[in-house]
Amino acid sequence: MLVITPLYAAPIGLVFLALSLNVIRQRFAHRVSVGDGGETALIKAMRAQSNCAEYAPLTLLLIVMAELQGAPGWWIHLLGAALLLGRLAHAYGFARRPQIILLRKTGMYLTFSALLLASVSGLALAV
């Protein structure tokens, strides 16, 4: 039974929802229904949403597998917290004008760390 991963998956889902609503808001503001219309703010919103969609699902799947394989609870919390904090830092740093590059970098480091460690965990726990 999964008891830890959902504590991180749910807030990440809310982050993705907020990023998606921002894309919709930008589409209405710039009257663009398809594509990006060359609007910088819309392109930025779309990339923030896409970045979350590119990294969060696979990393969450790997964390789920580690939890199901019996990884210690503290390890699952570490992976989940790294991913959640990484996605929050990246989204906030990317959304600011001007961007907060340190937050973007920190967000990507945390996300990549969670992805790497969850991947290695899956391999280590499988043997």
CATH code for position 65: 1.20.120.550
Count CA atoms within 13 Å of residue 45 on its CB side. 23
Name the pTM for this structure. Answer: 0.93
Query: What is the total count of domains within the chain?
Result: 1
At residue 37, the pLDDT reads: 86
* b/e burial code for range 46-58 (CB count within 10 A of at least 16 → b): bebbebbeebbee
**Which residue segment(s) compose the domain that 14 sits in?**
5-126
Is it the case that residue 9 has pLDDT exceeding 90?
yes
Q: What is the pLDDT of residues 42-56, one digit of tens each?
A: 999 999 999 999 999
- At 81-111, the pLDDT tens digits run 999 999 999 999 998 889 999 999 999 999 9
